[in-house]
Each structure stands twice: as structure tokens, then as C-alpha cells.
Amino acid sequence: MKAKITVNKKFTIGEIDRRIYGSFIEHVGRAVYEGIYEPDHPTADDQGFRGDVMELVKKLNVPIVRYPGGNFVSVYNWEDGIGDKSKRPRRMELAWGALESNQVGIDEFQEWAKRANSEVMMAVNLGTRGMDDARNCVEYCNSKADSYYANLRRANGFEEPFGFKVWCLGNEMDGSWQLGRKTAEEYGRLAAETAKVMKRVDNTIELVACGCTDYSRIGDWEYTILDHTYPYVDYVSLHTYYANKENNSQRFLARTEEMNDYINGVVAYCDALKAKKKSTKTINLSYDEWNVVCRRQPQDAAERDKDKWTEARHQLEDVYNFEDALVVGCMLMTLQNHSDRVKMACIAQLVNVIAPIMTEKGGKVWKQTTFYPFYYGSNYGNGATLRTMIETDTYDVEGYRKDIPYLVSSVIYNAEAGELVIYAVNRSLDEDMELELDLEGFASYELFEHIELYNDDLKAINDKDTERVAPVNVPIGDKVVLKKHSWNMLRFTVNA
């Protein structure tokens, strides 16, 4: 099979905001305890953070990490996680049915994030709590005033404010599973009023309103909440998890076509409200939960609840296979190709819970298959995304979609580094693809690196002892060939 990508140096979509390579740590399962934090682990640092995990997080180069949830935040009291650790309450954690020791909270997480070279994207509880707690939390984290919560932070040993810039106004407030769920009208009013008080405390913060959590339901929710919040918020959120439920890989690989439509749909609502309000401000998108999921949901309550109300339960520990990595690669390309409007995104999550990094208690850390497309995206996908004209064969999936392109790609021009990076997935399950490139507007270009992620077995996994899915360097020849069902990164030196 043959395919062709044409780009022109001058035809850019937008400059990539590095925050699209963000991630997410929620107090669920073993993400925090036995994930980023395990004081008894041989690699633990002076604060109890696992050094082996930190090393991999740094490799992933995540500029922003959403915290503390997720569903967790909708029942969380942020004050439980500050000050003297020995006095912190142990709570029944209602979102996930666990016991929360509160040994990690805002005080510790801001330090972990600093050590990981990341910013914190902080979420406030608009489920069981509201405006008052949200503004107090901003004061605790960000204020320099001689005021109660800022002084409480100082008393807890932090003279300087944490300076969290991005704040989420709740989490998935439309979802039936969300404790404190709201109607669009209720949420829109609450989010607008909460945004106002939070920005009174610190007018430099950026706020994310909850979009609805399912592409099939966007519409009334976006319209109503944006109608209420437009003047006060800066982003609207999107969340997506794809699963190969039908065990149809060709269909699974095509799911990012929906992600593309979802982004375009939410952009359309943002811009409709902009027009309605005659506003000069543009609301952008924060795709602050995205990933694939492959877990088997426990069907009976006994299995689901067997370790209820215990700490660090093994929850959502999905084991990713090779085709999951391909879909993650395609999802990341979709985000890059919307760099004009998607300014933040978080792969959900980072450690142990639907995560690229896995740990065993007291033992090893390892990389899941999905680690690699994210690693190469985050480390090399910097600069401006170029508009692509793609010529490729297409396929149909009966009962789903027609004309699905075999080739998925994003092209990023890093003028400063004199480099062009092409990410590409060949969605064909049985044919290699010869790729032709027409890179207009560059005086010259030369391919110097071709990284490929491939396994003959779409179901191959990595575990703590064996890495079956790992990138390889493809020798540079006369032709560029993308193997059947492979993920690729091509790096070129370019002269403008």
C-alpha cells in the first residue's frame, strides 16, 4: 500500500502548548500510595516519594499533573491533607470505597510535582462542597496576604505560595456516578459563582469548567454551562476512554476519528457562545482525561467489594497491550492536530491506575506498552503543528464508520531546533505502507531517525520481568516504510 503526506512550512495549525503532554494523579487505587509515595521502598527519598517512579515520570516529561481527582475530588476535604501528618483524619473514601489515610495531600503533592518538574492542575470539590471551600483552597495555595489560610500554609512550613495556575471547577459533574452530580443549570450557576470568588482571591489563575463526559451527549450541557460561565472561565474539559469492547481491532484503531469529531463539536459550542455573547474572548479546550481502558469490570458485588475500606486497593490496574499503545499514539496525534484549541490534556492516569507506569509494592517499576508513544510525543513533539494533506487508502467497519484512513499522522515543525517530526500509525492489520513525503517550503530536509513500535501480536503486553513491546531504531534507507499496525516517529533536520 502507498500513502503520501504533503505539508507546507507556512501552513500551521497552531503552536503546541506543552501542557497537552500533561498527566493525572488521583487518590484512587495505588496511584498515590505504593505509586508515587512509598516511604519504605528502597528508592524512597527524604519525603517518601519513590525514586524509581520519579525517574520514569521525569522521562515522560509531563509539564502539568491534575490532582487530586477525578471522582475522588467530589467528596474530598482538601484540609485533610495539610499540616501535621500524625493529626490527619483517616476517612471512608466514598468515590472508590477505600480508606484514605491522608498521608499525602496538597502539602506533599506540590513538593512531588516540583521534584517531577511539573505544575499542578488543581481540582476543587463542587460535588459535596462549594464556593467557600474552593476560595479558601486558592487562598491556602496561592495567597501572599497576611490572612487566615495563607498564614495556615506558613504555619505548616510553606512561606512561599505554591502558585497553582490552573484550577478545575469540579469533576465530571454531569455523570451519574459523580457524588454531588448536578444538572447543567445547577452546575453552570455554581461554577460561575465559584469562579468569581476564586478569581477574587487570585486573578491570575486559569479555570476549567466541566464539559460533559460523553461525546454522544454533547450539546445542551455545553451550551448551558458555557452560557453561565463564559465570562469567568478559560477552558472547558473533555474526557474520553476508549476500549476494544467488541474485540474488533480495526474498529478500535478508528476510534480517534470520534475524538476528532468530539473536539470539533466542543469547539463549535465554545464559538457559538462566543458569538451569542459578542465576546472577544476565546474559550479553549482542556482534554484533562484521555486514555484507553481494557479492564474487565467485576460483575458481582462480592468480587468488587472484597477489600472495601482498605488502603491502596488494587483498582483500575489495566494491563495494556500493543494495540492499546497504537490507539494512545493516535490519540496523542489527534491532540497535536488540534493545537490551535486544545491547550491542555492529561493522559489518565500516570502510575498504577490505567497508567503507563506500574509498580509492585517494595519492588520493581516497569513501563507499560502505552509508555512509549507518550514518551516520544512529549519529548519530541514541540513546535508548530502543520496542516497535512494525506493521501491514503481507507477502510469501512460495518455498523460503525466508512472511509477510515489507514494512515494517521501529525507533523510538527520545530523551527528553533531546525527539526521536523512526523508521527504516523499505519492502521492496516495486514499491509505495510510505503510513505511518500512532500515537505513544501523547506530548502532541504534529511531523515535522521526512524523509531518504530511494532509487535506481530496486537495483544502482546509488558510486565515486570519482560518488555515485549519496545521501540526500535529502523535503519534509514531510500524508502520510508510503515509496517502493518505500527506506530512510528520520523525525525528530519530541515533548512528553512
Site for ligand AHR in 430-489 (CB under 6 A): none
User: For residue 354, which of 59, 31, 54 has the smallest C-alpha distance?
Assistant: 31
In whole angstroms, how close is the CB of 244 to ligand AHR at the nearest point?
Answer: 18
Q: Find the part of the chain contacting ligand AHR (CB under 6 A) among 66-74, 183-191, 399-407, 442-450.
A: 66-74
Position 373 contacts ligand AHR (CB under 6 A): no
Q: How far is the first Cα of the chain from the last one, in angstroms, to the nearest whole number?
A: 31
Q: C-alpha cell of 445?
A: 530536509
* Between 229 and 349, CB nearer to ligand AHR: 349
* Between 78 and 406, CB nearer to ligand AHR: 78
In whole angstroms, how close is the CB of 407 to ligand AHR at the nearest point?
Answer: 30
In whole angstroms, how close is the CB of 190 to ligand AHR at the nearest point?
Answer: 18
* Between 27 and 153, CB nearer to ligand AHR: 27
Do 152 and 140 meet the contact criterion of CB atoms below 8 Å apart? Answer: yes
Position 348 contacts ligand AHR (CB under 6 A): yes
Q: Find the part of the chain contacting ligand AHR (CB under 6 A) among 5-13, 50-58, 65-73, 384-392.
A: 65-73
Q: Which of 12, 13, 25, 26 binds ligand AHR (CB under 6 A)?
A: 26
In whole angstroms, how close is the CB of 208 to ligand AHR at the nearest point?
Answer: 13
Q: Compute the distance between CA of residue 67 and CA of residue 168 in angstroms, rounded to an integer.
A: 9
* Between 182 and 427, CB nearer to ligand AHR: 182
Position 349 contacts ligand AHR (CB under 6 A): yes
Position 68 contacts ligand AHR (CB under 6 A): no
Catalytic residue among 119, 289, 323, 419: 289
* Between 178 and 229, CB nearer to ligand AHR: 178
Within 8 A by CB and 6+ apart from 23, the residues are 60, 62, 64, 65, 66, 346, 347, 348, 349, 350
Q: Which of 22, 29, 35, 70 binds ligand AHR (CB under 6 A)?
A: 70
Q: What are phi and psi of 12, to 5 degrees?
A: -105, 150
In whole angstroms, how close is the CB of 201 to ligand AHR at the nearest point?
Answer: 25
x-or-dash string of contact with ligand AHR, 390-429, rule CB under 6 A = ----------------------------------------
x-or-dash string of contact with ligand AHR, 268-297, rule CB under 6 A = ---------------------x--------
In whole angstroms, how close is the CB of 302 to ligand AHR at the nearest point?
Answer: 23
In whole angstroms, how close is the CB of 448 to ligand AHR at the nearest point?
Answer: 38
434 is catalytic: no
In whole angstroms, how close is the CB of 171 to ligand AHR at the nearest point?
Answer: 5
Do 170 and 207 meet the contact criterion of CB atoms below 8 Å apart? Answer: no
289 is catalytic: yes
Q: Find the part of the chain contacting ligand AHR (CB under 6 A) among 69-77, 82-90, 123-131, 416-424.
A: 69-77
With CB atoms as reference, the residue minimizing the distance to ligand AHR is 70
Position 324 contacts ligand AHR (CB under 6 A): no
Q: Which of 71, 229, 359, 426 binds ligand AHR (CB under 6 A)?
A: 71
Catalytic residue among 34, 79, 93, 172: 172
* Between 29 and 48, CB nearer to ligand AHR: 29
Site for ligand AHR in 142-201 (CB under 6 A): 171-172
In whole angstroms, how close is the CB of 71 to ligand AHR at the nearest point?
Answer: 4
Enzyme catalytic residues:
172, 289
Residues of this chain that interact with ligand AHR (CB under 6 A) are 26, 69-71, 171-172, 289, 348-349
